[in-house]
Amino acid sequence: MIRALGLGILFAASLASSILAQAMPKLDLHEGDFTISNFKFASGETLPQLRMHYTTLGKPARDARGRVTNAVLILHGTGGDGHQFLLPRFAGVLFRPSGLLDPAHMYIILPDDIGHGKSSKPSDGLRTHFPHYRYADMVAAEHALVVQGLKVDHLRLVMGTSMGCMHSFMWGESYPDFMDALMPLACLPVPIVGRNRLWRAMIADAIREDPAWDGGDYKTEPTEALRTAANILLIAGSAPLPMQSSLATRDAVDKYLGEVQAHEMKVLDANDILYAFESSEDYDPSGELGRIAAPMIWINSADDFINPPELGIAEREVTKIRNGRFVLIPASTDTHGHGTHTWAVIWQSHLADLLKETARQQQ
């Protein structure tokens, strides 16, 4: 069922742990934590110790000057973590022997962003006393992890999905000479407004207005708020064509909805969700897209509820990017809505083109 429907935003992350056991033994993984002391957030708040968890595959290679030549940074979406890229639909296509990102040749870096996975987050104990992080803080922490924590001074590729897609645009603007190539998947480089802002605000309002939230100091999770969040996220990450065939009866729909809700109620934390969805409030790379120097292939899918193609935004904004190309994947029974970003078989040919193009530029 999940294969047919694709993955929602938070659902992708929570499902990863259950599938991870079958994906991880095939890969030589290293996991660790990098602690940033006295990390100052854009809000002016400070965290004495910010923990950035990460997973890596492969080893860094250096050229004659000592510069790293094979590092690939892959950035996850809202509510996810680096482990989501170890799923067969991604790792089984790209990280396999002779795959485009084979760890025998590439050094793969998979961070858990602030507020996500095993990195510092509100549910660790601070709850609503945790600093109110924004995308700029997350990108700064990613950069610190890469440069200070992992001692990587150059990236062969930066790619990201959903929120990670948006972070990819920010990397290209903030550190234009730091990477050879960029591949953002499933986002738009403009402020989050319109329907995209609306459904996010619905989730935040549901949490804050649930009496059980108790200002973030709840003893047990506010279940009605979490149910609302799970329902909205399910729609946001849905794909209409495969869903129509996979949920062909009323009983099938009811059974699937119950399974999703039951699963999500076990794994979601209200404060973590609230912080994660409000972290996008500072996002707007549209005015600095001309700073992006690295060649970019930017990919969205036509059945993406979160980034609907009829807005025409991508076609307009890509003209501001010197070496940028936009690809819209047509909707079909093989696409997975917003979650198409994680099904590498659908778009890997474009990644192959990007790597080939930028390999020539390195020579």
**For 317-346, what is each residue's pLDDT tens digit?**
999 999 999 999 999 999 999 999 999 999
Question: Which architecture does CATH list for 2-195+277-362?
Answer: 3-Layer(aba) Sandwich (3.40)
- pLDDT, averaged per 10 consecutive residues of the chain (363 residues), comes to 35 42 66 98 97 98 95 97 96 96 98 98 97 98 98 98 98 98 98 96 97 96 95 93 94 95 91 97 96 98 97 98 98 95 97 94 58
3-class state of residue 30 by DSSP: strand
Report pLDDT for 361.
64
Q: Any residues with CB less than 8 A from the CB of 200 and at least 6 apart, and which?
A: 192, 277, 278, 280
Query: Helix, strand or coil for residue 199?
Result: helix
The C-alpha torsion from 206 through 313 and 292 to 328, rounded to 10°, is: 100
Q: Which of 4, 6, 47, 18 is nearest to 263 (CA)?
A: 18
Query: Residue 101 carries which side chain, given as an amino acid letter?
Result: L
Q: Tens of pLDDT along 76-116?
A: 999 999 999 999 999 999 999 999 999 999 999 999 999 99
CA 292 to chain centre: 20
| Residue 154 DSSP label | -
16 neighbors 83 (Cβ within 8 angstroms):
yes
Q: What is the pTM of this model?
A: 0.93
Q: What is the pLDDT of residues 50-63, one digit of tens each?
A: 999 999 999 999 99
Indicate the domain borders of the chain. 2-195+277-362
